[in-house]
Amino acid sequence: MIYVSEGLLYISFAILMGTLVLRLVPESKRPSVHVPDGLLLACALAIPVLSFAPIHQLASQYASQFDLSYGEMLKSILMDIKSGKAWIWSTVGSLGLALLLSMKAFRNDKHMPKVALFVTALLVIWLGYASHASSLSSFKGLFVHTLHFLAFSVWIGILFVVSWFSKDKDYWSAFLKWFSPVAILCVVVTLLAGFTLMSFTTPQYVSSWMIPYGQALLIKHLLILPLLLFAYTNGFLYKSVAAKDSGFQPVKWLRAESVVAMLVLGATAFMGQQAPPHNLKDTLQSVSPSPLFTWLYKGAFSPDIQLTFTLHMESVLMFAAAVLMAVGVVWSYRLNRPSIAFLMGLLMAGFAYFGLMFSIA
């Protein structure tokens, strides 16, 4: 259940970020978008509720171990631990944001979305303050995690809101003209920040595949591949395809891209509740190996092993199949078959996964 709450938390941030950014864009530069005021309010109020789930789990787990009541343990977490302090400030900020969103002036005043966007950015900072990365490296972890999540939220938030809440077919070319470079910038920042995070949360990237955190990180990275392919087709192939097919609807493709993005958020939510292997040998003393890893890895397992790559025929065949699926995604875009492209994108990630897992030794 805690993984569901974490995933919904990320979706709430994405909807808020995407809606507020689009409120600042002139109507001639985007399709008409209507996100219900009730949904925005619900997203703001959901942030403290959903982010409380791991705190509740922590308080319940340690209350019995330290022979304390739940209330005493909860008070200690909120007062003494980073995640608890961050939750208090997030609650205050979320209530303030909810107040802004519920005001009638928010719908008409052009400056109110700027204030709400600023508050949402503060909430992202507090999320970063409570992250694994911040606990390992206070300033660097906070800065890099915040940058990583902020860039991803802007990119996926705009994508999600436009694809599911647009009300007309106008101004798609004008929208993609500015959104494509924004998305590229967000992707670059997300990847650079993500690799920086890995340098001190997952220094042994390949060997980390032995534990659930590493498996989730690998799956997340592989799901980013079809996400980038969809971003490429929507950003660079749209004009040429639309010129040949007057009935071409980019919203279907943006929705397919947004669904893949939700899967990436799901993997991220799972990682958020796992121990990061900044010291893999020590982590394996308290964390069991991933069932996926033990199912696919046929060698002898011990906490001291170091995984390396050794290409085999089956892994080469898997990688070749992944490449074919990637070509199929681009080809399906030209044929205007979003459901087929979505399936091929998932198969591409799946084949690449098995190719990598068959290569480790």
Confidence of residue 61 (pLDDT cuts 50, 70, 90): confident
3-state SS record for 126-180: HHHHCCHHHHHCHHHHHHHHHHHHHHHHHHHHHHHHHHHHECCCCCHHHHHHHHH
Q: What's the whole-number average pLDDT of the chain?
A: 86
Neighbours of 291 (CB within 10 A): 10
Tokens at 100, concatenated: 């802004």
Phi, psi angles (nearest 5°) of residue 33 = -125, 130
76 Cβ contact partners less than 8 Å away, ≥ 6 residues apart: 68
Confidence of residue 136 (pLDDT cuts 50, 70, 90): confident
Q: Mean pLDDT lowest for which of 101-105, 153-157, 184-188, 273-277?
A: 273-277
Instruction: Give residue 1's pLDDT.
Output: 65
Instruction: Using the predicted structure, report yes or no on whether residue 107 has a pLDDT greater than 70.
Output: no
Please report how the helices 250-272 and 172-201 are oriented relative to each other, as an axis angle in degrees rounded to 10.
20
DSSP-assigned beta bridge partners for residue 33: 166
Instruction: Using the predicted structure, report yes or no on whether residue 282 has a pLDDT greater than 70.
Output: yes
**What span, in angstroms and rounded, lies between the C-alpha atoms of 195 and 300?**
30
**What span, in angstroms and rounded, lies between the C-alpha atoms of 145 and 93?**
19
Instruction: Give residue 343's pLDDT.
Output: 95
Instruction: Give residue 41's pLDDT.
Output: 93
Q: How far apart are the first and last CA of the chain?
A: 34
Instruction: Give residue 96's pLDDT.
Output: 92
| Cα–Cα distance list, 318 to 226, 340, 342 (Å) | 16, 19, 18
Q: Mean pLDDT lowest for which of 62-66, 118-122, 288-292?
A: 62-66
Confidence of residue 154 (pLDDT cuts 50, 70, 90): very high
Alpha-carbon dihedral 41, 45, 46, 50, rounded to 10 degrees: 170
Instruction: Using the predicted structure, report yes or no on whether residue 187 has a pLDDT greater than 80.
Output: yes
Instruction: Give residue 76's pLDDT.
Output: 85
Tokens at 278, concatenated: 């900044």
Contacts of the segment 289-293: beta carbons below 8 A, 24+ positions apart: 289/210, 289/211, 290/209, 290/210, 290/211, 290/212, 290/214, 290/215, 292/215, 292/357, 293/209, 293/210, 293/211, 293/215, 293/357
Instruction: Give residue 134's pLDDT.
Output: 78
